Amino acid sequence: MNSFTGTPSVTSVVHLAMPPAMPSKIAAAGERETRVVPRLRKIGAAWLRHSCRMPEERVKDVLVVLSELLTNAVLHGTGDSVGYRSWSPEPGLIRFEIDDGTETEDPLPQAPSPLAESGRGLLLVSLFVKELGGDWGFTRHGTTAWCCLPIHDDEPVSGRREL
């Protein structure tokens, strides 16, 4: 009994496990200009850090992937805008998509000449996504690049092509 209030005292506290909340979905778009890349990257970074609570070292690596896919959409897309959306299709997993409105066959990573100053973006994406334990690709018509990654260093993601 609490001598001050005359009410029973709490002698123990039980914490009930709650399933983690799913990160909120986000979507943003901008004109197909180079200045849209840092803007959409900042939106993605905030989502990864705050909604997903992704560890900072992992955020930095995911942002390389996001930046490369955004830049690819700006440089090689033919649509007027670039769209970005992110969500969590299941606990512990994120998916983001970059849509440039261009219908073409799947763009494939190509080996640039040794002295080329560009042309390594999709190769970097492949390497980073593999290292992060994820999966990535393009939708059937090539308009949208997608990437699925675990939020933490958990089991690798595979077979997530059409979520």
Please state, in angstroms and rounded to a whole number, the distance separating the CA atoms of residues 71 and 60: 16
Residue 65 DSSP code: H
Residue 100 · residue 73 · CB < 8 Å:
yes
**Torsion, Cα of 79, 83, 89, 94 (10° steps):** 110
pLDDT of residue 10: 46
Report domain 26-110+117-150's class. Answer: alpha beta
Please state, in angstroms and rounded to a whole number, the distance separating the CA atoms of residues 44 and 143: 20
Which tens digit of pLDDT belongs to each residue from 27-82?
999 999 999 999 999 999 999 999 999 999 999 999 999 999 999 999 988 889 99
Which tens digit of pLDDT belongs to each residue from 76-101?
888 899 999 999 999 999 999 999 98
Instruction: Give domain limits for the chain.
Output: 26-110+117-150
Q: Model-level pTM greater than 0.75?
A: yes
Residue 47 DSSP code: I
Instruction: Give exposure, 107-125, as e/b (b: 16+ Cβ within 10 Å).
Output: eeeeeeeeeeeeeebbeeb
What is the CA 129 to chain-centroid distance, rounded? Answer: 10
